Amino acid sequence: AQTVTQSQPEMSVQEAETVTLSCTYDTSENNYYLFWYKQPPSRQMILVIRQEAYKQQNATENRFSVNFQKAAKSFSLKISDSQLGDTAMYFCAFIKVYNQGGKLIFGQGTELSVKP
């Protein structure tokens, strides 16, 4: 069975600074996807970034980037130039290749506070 672990229940960062959220996972699969989702107080799940396991290049979306270390099964999220609107719960998630009946498994979450 796959597991996803986020070891940082809470993090805080000053506005405009950089913060890194950690995530590790365990799987015997070789093909899979990893995601970071943001859940603001509205509780809407917002996809932040997605990484395909077969791609060595780390995914980047504007101020958000990941450090994907497949051998170490590590998938951290870096938020640059933090903004107040980045305050939210962040979930790391894993799914094995869709057409093999994959289901999205979430980590415990990290509550990020961006302080002015």
Partner 1 sequence: GAVVSQHPSWVICKSGTSVKIECRSLDFQATTMFWYRQFPKQSLMLMATSNEGSKATYEQGVEKDKFLINHASLTLSTLTVTSAHPEDSSFYICSARGQGDSPLHFGNGTRLTVT
Structure tokens at 61: 């979306």
Q: What are all long-range contacts of 95-98, with beta carbons under 8 Å and residues at least 24 apart? A: 95/32, 95/33, 95/35, 96/2, 96/27, 96/29, 96/31, 96/32, 96/33, 97/29, 97/31, 97/32, 97/33
Residue 99 lies near partner 1 (rule: CB under 8 A): yes
Q: Which of 8, 11, 105, 113 binds partner 1 (CB under 8 A)?
A: 105
Write each residue from 72 to 91 as x if it is in contact with partner 1 (CB under 8 A), else as -, in one continuous string: -----------------x-x
Residue 13 lies near partner 1 (rule: CB under 8 A): no
Residue 95 lies near partner 1 (rule: CB under 8 A): yes
Nearest to 50 by CA among 81, 15, 6, 94: 94
For partner 1 (CB under 8 A), the number of binding residues is 21
Residue 108 lies near partner 1 (rule: CB under 8 A): yes
Site residues for partner 1 per CB under 8 A: 42-45, 47, 50, 89, 91, 95, 97-99, 101, 103-109, 111
